[in-house]
A = this chain, B = another copy of it.
Amino acid sequence: MSENIYIGVDLGGTAIKVGICNQEGELLHTYEGPTEKEKSSDAVIGNIEKYVRYIVEQSPYEWDQVVGVGAGVAGFTDVRAGVILMAPNINFQNVPIRAILEERLGKTIRVDNDANVAALGEAWSGAGKGITDCVCYTLGTGVGGGIIVNGHIYQGFSGLAGEIGHISVVPDLEAIKCGCGKMGCLETVSSATGIVRMAVEAVERGDHTSLSAIEKVSAKDIFDAAKAGDEVSIRIINRAAFYLGKSMAAVAATLNPERFIIGGGVSKAGDILFNEIRRVFAELTPEPLQRGVEIIPAKLGNDAGIVGAAGLLLR
């Protein structure tokens, strides 16, 4: 086996997930170990080194076949300098991870934030396989995004392209304040946090819903209730979907991407969510900008982060 291999690292608060990908973005082997963020950034980077060496040793590949190592992390990164500026999850601040790992591993190192990396993973070998221009939404605790232009992550002026969770979409009278300090961001209504908030408000208001019986409502509870026909839950998911569709219409008029790829926990709501997103997108987008454009679920699930991190070496 003399082919090149690419190593992806998903650097999370609890676990570091490492994977080996081939040239086509197929994930061939994975390994997972504790992050141990409570020790120090140096210890965490030591763990990355250890897990990377270990997964290659355990695989049928030789160290010489490793082209490089890419890492994705939740937080702010300086992609050009290869520095993690701030990643509260793992207590990193201004850590020049690229320089340190290049020294220790003797390989090319790349780093980017988790939303961009997940977008690249989907674009490379997931729901965007075979196309060059797509926009990925990750609907989790917040709403993250990644813009893929000509097969590469588009960074923008200060590396903040793809902050689509902060498109202001909710009209003033209904808008609430977002974590970013602004009013009416998409994230306030279409993230798991936003959906749960709307459910809690409905229960507190005394709306008739099966959610009232649940002590601590989760996003999954709301999806399950909606699937069982609970009207309040359906209304909440429709509202999240409405603003997603509205934001996609704005993004389509700006970038005219071929596909919108939707991942993250909230995308698990399934057809109830996707049908309404597509309806609103069609309602607000001029016909030529809709033609041939698809809105589809992500495919790689949690692996998108590892695959996309490996993809940083190629794209």
Contact = CB atoms under 8 A, between A and B. Distances in A.
Interface of A: 133, 135, 145, 147, 149, 154-168, 171, 178, 180-185, 246-247, 249-251, 253-258, 283-289, 291-293
Contact of A167 (B149, B178, B182, B253): B253
Given A163-B286, A168-B284, A158 B292 contact: yes
Contact of A158 (B178, B181, B251, B256): B256
A133 B158 contact: no
Given A254-B255, A255-B254, A288 B168 contact: no
A157 B293 contact: yes
Given A149-B149, A286-B180, A253 B164 contact: yes
Contacts of A246: 168
Nearest to A159: B256
Given A160-B288, A286-B166, A154 B255 contact: yes
A145 B254 CA distance: 9
A155 B149 CA distance: 10
B254 A162 contact: yes
B250 A160 contact: no
How many copies of this chain are found per oligomer?
2
A184 B283 CA distance: 11
Contacts of A251: 250, 254
A213 to B, nearest CB: 35
B163 A154 contact: no
A161 B149 CA distance: 12
Nearest to A169: B250
Nearest to A149: B149
Contacts of A289: 158, 160, 163, 166
14 contacts: A149-B154, A157-B257, A158-B256, A160-B288, A161-B256, A162-B256, A163-B256, A166-B253, A166-B286, A167-B249, A181-B287, A182-B283, A182-B285, A255-B255
Contacts of A250: 167-168, 247, 250-251, 254
Contacts of A255: 147, 154, 156, 161, 254-255
A173 to B, nearest CB: 9
Given A165-B253, A171-B171, 16 more contacts: A133-B156, A145-B254, A154-B255, A156-B257, A157-B257, A158-B288, A159-B256, A160-B288, A161-B256, A163-B254, A163-B256, A166-B286, A167-B249, A167-B253, A182-B283, A182-B286
A293 B157 CA distance: 8
A133 B157 contact: yes
A39 B285 CA distance: 37
A106 to B, nearest CB: 31
Contacts of A158: 256, 288-289, 291-292
A178 B253 CA distance: 14
B292 A157 contact: yes
A150 to B, nearest CB: 9
Contacts of A135: 254
